[in-house]
Amino acid sequence: MPRPISATLHLSAFDNNLNVIRNCAPQSKVWSVVKANAYGHGLSRIWESLSATDGFALLDLNEAILLREKGWKGPILLLEGFFQPQDLTLLDHYRLTTTIHSDWQLEAIQRARLSAPLNVYLKLNSGMNRLGFPVRQAETVWQWAKSIANIDQITLMTHFANADNPTGVAQQFNDVSDASANIPAPRSFANSAATLWHSQTHGDWVRPGIILYGASPSGRTADIADTGLQPTMSLCSEIIAVQDLSKGHGVGYGSRYQASDAQRIGVVACGYADGYPRHAPTGTPAWVEGVLTRTLGTISMDMMMVDLTPCPQAVTGSKVELWGRNLPIDDVAAAAGTVGYELMCALATRVPVKIEN
Ligand SMILES: *Cc1c(COP(=O)(O)O)cnc(C)c1O
């Protein structure tokens, strides 16, 4: 028998979440963002559940090629563009749409020998200060791109730094809108947070990632409670042993939790080598046989301990959900000082994955 841990993918939730996105942005086409191996879910496992999308956006050329080889014929967008001029041979062969964020990429396309022109996304830096041309260069860069025979359709793109928090998108949105007012090209500005909360930014293509997987862009479960989004992943395991502690007994490495009274605890087959965050402190929520309880002490490589005080019926073999349908991943992430994105991306390859419709 394998260890009792597994991740279940709820494929019908993808369809549901894509519909939520379409209702939010009815005028826009949707790039389903599936970078990082579909946020840890496994691109080859889930892409067909999203085949009603208008396109897939990702970073890794190998993931783009995988999608083509699996049979996806629609648009694929490389969100960081290509990394060296030689990559253009593959972009050409697999007909990939590429982001362009730097001069050298335009020069490389200009010089390349392609079988047909490529569609490009011109990335404008409107304040994130990560990738992109300064917005004040928008017209110059657009003119340059337009003059290149190897370039077919041009879309303008930017990325928001604060669409999920009170700072908002106004400054960035105004700057990019002003700078591109005279450019007759489609727009793609909105990540998940802007798709949900800043409809003025939707433009021609939205680029949602995290909400496809049913988690919150802000990291707060309450912020997506009314959206109808459903989680796409549940990480489940079992209690493999029970310990009865006396007052003063410590738990786990460093004895960082100490029982203040007699206490029953469960040992769960899940640890940081499965992708559970080691920095999750005592008190991080866990679900045991229908009851919400909490972790106790340091997370080990392969195990963790949970408080069985609220669930006296729990025994060896009892079902535990670390996150998923019964326990939002954002609640676990918030307790551990991170975001749902990081938890799903970190799911370890040793965890068996079950597929459910
Ligand atoms: C990751 C990414 C997205 C999706 O972000 P979410 O917050 O997951 O919606 C959109 N656009 C770009 C450029 C990205 O890198």
State how far the Cα of 202 lies from the Cα of 190, in Å rounded to an integer.
Answer: 6
Q: Which residues have a Cβ under 8 Å from the Cβ of 54 and sit 6 or more positions away?
A: 29, 30, 31, 74, 75, 205
- Which pLDDT score, from 0 to 100, does residue 135 have? 97
Q: For ligand 1, is residue 17 a contact (CB within 6 Å)?
A: no
- 192 CB within 6 A, ligand 1: yes
pLDDT of residue 180: 97
Task: Give the atom of ligand 1 at the shortest distance from the alpha carbon of 99.
Answer: 13
Helices (H), the chain: 11-24, 35-39, 43-46, 61-70, 88-94, 103-111, 138-146, 170-179, 192-197, 329-335, 340-345
**What residues in the chain have per-residue pLDDT under 50?**
none
Alpha-carbon distance of 252 to 300, in angstroms, equals 8
The answer to whether 278 is a known ligand-binding residue is no
How much is the pLDDT for 196?
Answer: 98
Task: Specify the residue for token string 């496994």.
Answer: 42
d(CA 5, CA 319): 10
The residues with which 287 forms a beta bridge, in sequence order, are: 292, 321
For a pocket test of ligand 1, which of 21, 79, 227 has the largest count of ligand atoms closer than 8 A to its C-beta?
Answer: 79
Q: Is the dihedral of CA 341, 342, 345, 347 positive or negative?
A: negative
Structure tokens at 157: 């793109």
pLDDT for residue 1: 75
Return the C-alpha torsion angle 47, 50, 55, 60, nearest 10. Answer: -30
Give the closest residue (by CA) to ligand 1 atom 4.
Answer: 209
Residue numbers annotated as active site: 35, 253
In the chain, what is the greatest distance between 2 CA atoms, to the nearest angstrom? 77
**Residue 130 assigned ligand-binding role:** yes
pLDDT at residue 17 in the model: 98
Q: Can you give the pLDDT at residue 167? A: 96
Burial class (CB in 10 A: 0-12, 13-18, 19+), 345: middle
Q: What per-residue confidence (pLDDT) applies to 2?
A: 83
Q: Whole-model pTM?
A: 0.97
Q: How far apart, in whole angstroms, are the C-alpha atoms of residue 115 and residue 150?
A: 9
| Contact 33 CB / ligand 1 (< 6 Å) | yes
| Amino acid 251: pLDDT | 97
252: Cβ below 6 Å to ligand 1?
no
Q: What is the pLDDT of residue 357?
A: 87
Burial 233-257 (b: 16+ CB within 10 A, else e): bbbbbbbbeeeebeeeeebbeeeeb
> In angstroms, how far is CA 288 from the centroid of its own chain?
26
